[in-house]
Amino acid sequence: MLYNEVMIRYGELSTKGKNKKAFINRLAQNVKAALHDFEEIKVHADRDRMHLILNGADSDVVMERLTFIFGIQNFSPVMRLERDMEIVKKTAVEMVREQYSEGKTFKISTRRADHDFELDTNEMNQLLGGEVLKNIEGIKVQVKKPDINLRVEVRLNGIFLSCQTVQGAGGLPVGTSGKGMLMLSGGIDSPVAGYLAMKRGVEVEAVHFHSPPYTSPRALQKAKDLTAKIAAFSGTIQFIEVPFTEIQEEIKKSVPEGYLMTVTRRMMMRLTDKIREQRKGLAIFNGESLGQVASQTMHSMIAINDVTTTPVLRPVISMDKNEIIEIAKTIDTFELSIQPFEDCCTIFAPPSPKTKPDLDKAREYESRLDIEGLIERAMANLSVSKINVGQTLEEQQKEIYSDLL
Ligand code: ATP
Ligand code: MG
The CATH number that applies at residue 232 is 3.40.50.620
Cβ-based neighbour number of residue 126 at 10 Å: 13
Q: Which residues have a Cβ under 8 Å from the Cβ of 280 and sit 6 or more positions away?
A: 179
**What is the pLDDT of the chain when averaged over all its residues?**
92
Tell whether 173 is covered by a domain.
Answer: no
Q: What is the pLDDT of residue 15?
A: 57
Task: State whether 135 and 207 are in the same domain.
Answer: no
Local structure of residue 262 (DSSP, 8 states): H
The answer to the question of residue 313 being in a domain is yes
Q: Are residues 123 and 226 located together in one domain of the fold?
A: no
**Residue 118 maps to which CATH number?**
3.30.2130.30
The whole-number pLDDT of residue 354 equals 84
DSSP 232: G
Residue 281 lies in a domain: yes
Give pLDDT tens digits for 109-160.
Answer: 999 999 999 999 999 999 999 999 999 999 999 999 999 999 999 999 999 9
**Residues 124 and 191 occupy one common structural domain:** no
- In this prediction, residue 403 carries a pLDDT of 47
The residue among 20 and 369 whose pLDDT is bigger is 369
Residues 88 and 188 in one domain: no
**What are the helix (H) ranges across 311-389?**
321-330, 334-337, 344-348, 359-366, 371-380
205 and 121, same domain (yes or no): no
Which band of pLDDT confidence, cut at 50, 70 and 90, is reported for residue 388? confident
**Residues forming a β-bridge with 245:** none
Number of domains the chain is built from = 2
Contact (CB, 8 A) for 336 and 187 = no
Q: What is the pLDDT of residues 391-403, one digit of tens each?
A: 655 555 555 444 4
Say what the pLDDT of residue 13 is: 60
DSSP lists the bridge partners of residue 76 as 7
- Which pLDDT does position 397 carry in this prediction? 52
pLDDT greater than 60 at residue 273: yes
Name residues with Cβ closer than 5 Å to ligand 2, which is an ion. 185, 187, 343
Distance 290 CA to ligand 2 centre (A): 14
**Over residues 164-183, mean pLDDT:** 95
What is the structure's pLDDT at 11? 73
User: 260 and 388 share a domain?
Assistant: yes
Give 68-95 pLDDT, tens digit per residue.
Answer: 999 999 999 999 999 999 999 999 999 9
Query: Within a domain: residue 294?
Result: yes
- The reported pLDDT for the residue numbered 392 is 56
Residue type, 47: R
Within a domain: 172: no
Tell me whether residue 360 is in a domain.
yes
- Using a pLDDT cut of 90, give the percent of the chain over it: 85
Relative to the CA of 296, which ligand 1 atom is closest? 11
Show which of 110, 142, 167 is a domain's final residue.
167
One domain, residues 161 and 196 = no
Q: Which residues are annotated as a binding site for ATP?
A: 183-184, 208-209, 265, 287, 296
How far is the centre of ligand 1, averaged over its atoms, from the C-alpha of 396 (Å)? Answer: 24
Residue 404: per-residue pLDDT: 45
Last residue of a domain, one of 133, 167, 201: 167
Please report the pLDDT score of residue 295 as a whole number: 82
More confident residue, 352 or 397: 352
Mutate to test the pocket of ligand 1, among 188, 189, 264 (most ligand atoms within 8 A of CB): 189
Residue 193 domain-assigned?
yes
| Proximal ligand: closest to the CA of 219 | 1
Instruction: In whole angstroms, give the CA distance from residue 67 to residue 73.
Output: 9
Q: Are residues 137 and 208 in the same domain?
A: no
Claim to verify: residue 147 and residue 195 sit in the same structural domain: no
Q: What is the mean pLDDT of residues 206-231?
A: 95
Alpha carbon of 171 to ligand 1 centroid (Å): 25
Regarding whether 227 and 110 lie in a shared domain, the answer is no
What pLDDT is stored for residue 209 in this prediction? 97
Query: pLDDT value at position 352?
Result: 77
For residue 35, give its domain range: 5-167
- Same structural domain, 148 and 204: no
Helix (H) / strand (E) containing 74: strand 72-81
Q: What is the mean pLDDT of residues 291-320?
A: 95
pLDDT-derived band at 164 (thresholds 50, 70, 90) equals very high
Within this chain, do residues 150 and 223 fall inside the same structural domain, yes or no? no
Q: Please identify, among 138, 167, 196, the residue that sits at the C-terminal boundary of a domain.
A: 167
- Residue 374 included in any domain: yes
Q: Which DSSP state fits 356?
A: S
